[in-house]
Structure 1
Amino acid sequence: MQLTTIKRGTIVTALSIGLLGAGTGAQAAPSTQHTKVAQAAHMQNTAHRDSTATRLIHVRSIGTKCGKTPIAMASGRGKMTLRIDETRSTGSVLSKHIDATSKVISAGVGWDVSKSRSITVSGSKEVPRSKYGTLTAYVKYSGKKFDVEAILLPQGVTWIAQKNKTAYKPIGVCFKYSQR
């Protein structure tokens, strides 16, 4: 038996050509390889008709980190006290290009990634005499890392579509003080 695979775009078609003996009624039995190729071709042929669902797997906490963009700042020459008292609204920070909806991500990480949170920025720092001090506030985030699993419906075939994606939610404030 000879197995021929023909590719047309993303569709793979498997043809099995059986050789018949001269004057005999022999039939070609499908090989294991043929069956696997035919199943793969069927999966690819039906993929455009079926829908793909996603879910998060291997969700794990990755601790906290401070943002990179200042949200409030106070500076001045001492002897004085620098004070910041503000309320800010900030949202979750997600990895780029996650192949899952915000509802799927929210369900997986345990908070609504589409909603902003209000955080209170409140802090002070004493600046010594004849020094110039700067107090800067940044958003503090708590993060989770996860993989995105794709599920081909209705077959139930699963595969990991993306690895090591992250989501961070705002939980408070980090301060940085510098003086010269």
Structure 2
Amino acid sequence: MKTQIIQRGGVILAAMTACLAGASSTAQAVPDAPVGHSRASEVQAAGLSYSYWYRPKHVKSIGGKCGKKVIAEASGRGPMTLRIDETRSLSSTFSKSLSINYKALTAAVGWDVTKSRSITVSGSKEVPRGKYGVLKAYTRYSGKMFDVYNVYNPYKHKLVAKNKKAYKPIGVCYKFTKS
């Protein structure tokens, strides 16, 4: 594999040319990150897909939502008070198969997308006599929507994906049912 440095308009880009063994053609590959870029290895170690050249643009807030996965639950027959008191560590969520520069995404959305947050789950609900109640807690998220662009070419940024989403945990939603 051969690496060459290209300078365009004062911006230095690293280009890598990969020769395929047994093939008669040469493939151009965009590097994942410039030499010495440590953030890529941190994010990849966390199991996230990372591309140094993919950046978010056109970031806008979207409404909050409740998650679908139950994070805490209490149930019982009345008369009684169902109570949930826990602290959970919850991580940000992203659109599926998102490959992006997480440092740029962190700056664009306003929170560190690679770190978990500690959320306190605390709630109670009265269950009437003769009824069976179930109190479930779900994560409440605040979100941002953005487009992803490949900024490898400094003269023309190429749209890679539209309407991708990132959510951060901000609290808890509750659902109470009785029968």
Give the TM-score, by structure 2 length.
Answer: 0.70
Within-5 A mapping of 1:64-75: 64-75=64-75
CA contact (8 A) 2:55 2:101 kept: no
Q: Residue deviations 1:64-119, cap 9 Å, x none?
A: 00010100000000011000000000000001122312222212211101000000
1:90 paired to 2:85: no
Specify the alignment match of 1:160 in structure 2.
159
Note the C-alpha offset of 1:156: 2.3
CA contact (8 A) 1:88 1:120 kept: yes
Specify the alignment match of 1:80 in structure 2.
80
Secondary structure in 2 matching 1:152: coil
Note the C-alpha offset of 1:54: 2.6
1:48 paired to 2:23: no
After superposition, the Cα gap between the structure-2 partners of 1:61 and 1:81, relative to the gap in structure 1 and judged at 3 Å, is same
Greater helix percent: which structure? 1
CA contact (8 A) 1:72 1:136 kept: yes
Note the C-alpha offset of 1:138: 0.5
Specify the alignment match of 1:103 in structure 2.
103
Greater strand percent: which structure? 2
What are structure 2's unaligned runs of at least 5 residues?
A: 1-26, 32-51
Letter in 1 for 2:132: Y
Specify the alignment match of 1:170 in structure 2.
169
Superposed CA RMSD: 1.7
Separation (CA, whole Å) in 2 of partners of 1:48 and 1:86: 51
Separation (CA, whole Å) in 1 of partners of 2:121 and 2:78: 22
Note the C-alpha offset of 1:169: 0.1
Note the C-alpha offset of 1:53: 2.2
Letter in 1 for 2:78: G
Relative to structure 2, which stretch is displaced further, 53-62 or 89-98? 53-62
Specify the alignment match of 1:131 in structure 2.
131
Note the C-alpha offset of 1:50: 6.3
Runs of 4+ in 1 over 3 A off after TM superposition: 49-52
CA contact (8 A) 1:79 1:129 kept: yes
Specify the alignment match of 1:58 in structure 2.
58
Aligned residues: 133
Letter in 1 for 2:86: E
